[in-house]
Structure 1
Amino acid sequence: MKGRSYAEILAGALVLLVAGSFLAYAVTNSGRGGFSGPALTLSAKFDRIDGLAPGADVRVAGVKVGSVVDQRIDPQTFLAVLTMRIDASLRMPSDSSAEIASEGLLGGRFVSLVPGGSERILADGAEITITQSAISLESLLGRFIFSMTEGQPSRGEAAPAAPSLGTPAQP
């Protein structure tokens, strides 16, 4: 009986060890873990940041280079202020822009940095002044549906007759 319980404990420990190693591998290779090396802290102000939360990716050309670490409201302007930490080795130009982008219709949101062409480089703690806020898919769909139904006749109302191509329209 004792031999069997030691074998079961050993097998359980082996399973936990293998599961832990898979978890460690997944975290280090998924891009969700923090990047190593020095980081640069940048901020940017947006009208709206729909669906963007701390921990969201910051990307340049689709490659993750950092993450959003904080979000708050500026009490004077009522704009959303994002604080981001990015890899300091990038040396972002001072006229770079930041935009809130989406991974797809149902995907999450991320901050996309678009490098500018300036010779000056953003310093730690600098603010990115050129920003594009998140586009609300719901409001776009609402506008589209409204524009499609606006020109439609009401029920019980006859649709206006289209002029014939062969005869000129009467004034």
Structure 2
Amino acid sequence: MKGRSIAEVLAGAVVLLVACSFLAYAVTNSGRSSFSGPALTLTAKFDRIDGLAPGADVRVAGVKVGSVVDQRIDPQTFLAVLTMRIDASLRMPSDSSAEIASEGLLGGRFVSLVPGGSERILADGGEITITQSAISLESLLGRFIFSMTEGQPNRNAQTPGSAPAGAPAGGQAPARP
């Protein structure tokens, strides 16, 4: 009985060790580490930020350059205000835009910055004024389904006073000989 108990404890320890090593690998290679080095703080206001949380990536041309550090509601406009920290070596033009994008149909959301062409550069604490909010997949599918069913007449519906298919007009049963 003692030999079996020691074997079970060792097997459990091996399982825990493997699980901890997988967890450590996932944390170190997830790409979600906080941005290090000098950073620039920018804000942007959006109508919707569905599925975007603090810690989400901020990307330029698909490359991670920072992360979302805070989100709040502006009490005057009721818009979502995102605070982002990006690499300070990036000189973002003042007419740059920010949009909330998705990694795929089921993927997470991130902020995509699109540099503008202005000579003026955003300073620390600056605001990106050109924004595009998150697009709701459920809303798009609902609109598509509604538009497809709205234009189609109901083929099974009968107009008042009409007889079902195969029945004689007037609504009376056919006479039997």
TM-score, normalised to structure 2's length? 0.74
Cα 1:46–1:154 change in 2 (3 A) is same
Give CA-to-partner distance per residue, 1:127-160, whole Å, 9 cap, x none. 0000000111111100100010011122599999
Give the alignment's Cα RMSD to 1 decimal: 8.4
Unaligned runs of 5+ in 2: 156-160
- Asked if 1:164 corresponds to 2:169, the answer is yes
CA distance in 2, matches of 1:19, 1:113: 37
Alpha-carbon contact 1:62-1:112 (below 8 Å) kept: yes
Cα 1:154–1:26 change in 2 (3 A) is closer
Give CA-to-partner distance per residue, 1:28-87, whole Å, 9 cap, x none. 443211222101110000011111111111001111111111111111111110000111
* Deviation (angstroms), 1:19: 7.7
* Deviation (angstroms), 1:9: 12
Structure 1 window deviating more from structure 2 (42-51 vs 28-37): it is 28-37
CA distance in 1, matches of 2:38, 2:149: 54
Unaligned runs of 5+ in 1: none
CA distance in 2, matches of 1:113, 1:169: 77
CA distance in 2, matches of 1:163, 1:41: 78
Cα 1:151–1:41 change in 2 (3 A) is same
Aligned positions, number: 171
Q: Describe the SS at the equivalent of 2:68.
A: strand
TM-score, normalised to structure 1's length? 0.77
* Deviation (angstroms), 1:90: 0.9
> Identity percentage over the alignment?
90
Structure 1 window deviating more from structure 2 (44-53 vs 147-156): it is 147-156
Q: Describe the SS at the equivalent of 1:123.
A: coil
Alpha-carbon contact 1:153-1:159 (below 8 Å) kept: no
Alpha-carbon contact 2:35-2:67 (below 8 Å) kept: no
User: Max radius of gyration: which structure?
Assistant: 2
Give CA-to-partner distance per residue, 1:65-117, whole Å, 9 cap, x none. 11111111111111110000111111111111000000111111100000111
Structure 1 window deviating more from structure 2 (33-42 vs 75-84): it is 33-42
